[in-house]
Amino acid sequence: MHFLSKRFIRFLIVGGINTLFGYSLFALLILLNFHYEIAALISTICGAFFNFKTIGAIVFKNKSNTLIFRFIGVYTIIYSLQLFFIKLLLIYKISLFMAGALILLPLALISYTLNKIFVFKKYK
């Protein structure tokens, strides 16, 4: 099964570290009274650069810096989805912290799929 592949397990481990970094930054910015759109943007940009090397090298065994623009494209989609889902959850009076946490797993799965298809498609 695709979700039990070694690559996907590596993605979950690396993604856990990357998520801790990105969500911690998002939460810190919310605590500092940044608007959630700005907090999400800053944490996504910082996360994208942090994640590029770890996901590329560890998950997909690809260290090529030429893929950064595709990777940024994927993170642009992830950022848009993040805003959409947070706005949706805010309608239901869910806190920003909880909304950010609730969307972590779905966005991680989408990120893995998009990176696999569009960025690191020549996986070894």
Q: What is the DSSP string of 20-78?
A: HHHHHHHHHHHHTT--HHHHHHHHHHHHHHHHHHHIIIIIS----GGGHHHHHHHHHHH
Q: What is the pTM of this model?
A: 0.82
Predicted confidence band of residue 68 (pLDDT cuts 50, 70, 90): very high
pLDDT of residue 69: 93
pLDDT tens-place string over residues 35-48? 999 999 999 999 88
Task: Give percent of the chain with pLDDT exceeding 90.
Answer: 55
Instruction: Please choose, from the candidates 96, 108, 78, 95, the residue with its C-alpha nearest in 3D space to the C-alpha of residue 13.
Output: 108
d(CA 92, CA 90): 5
CA 123, 2, 4, 98 dihedral sign is positive
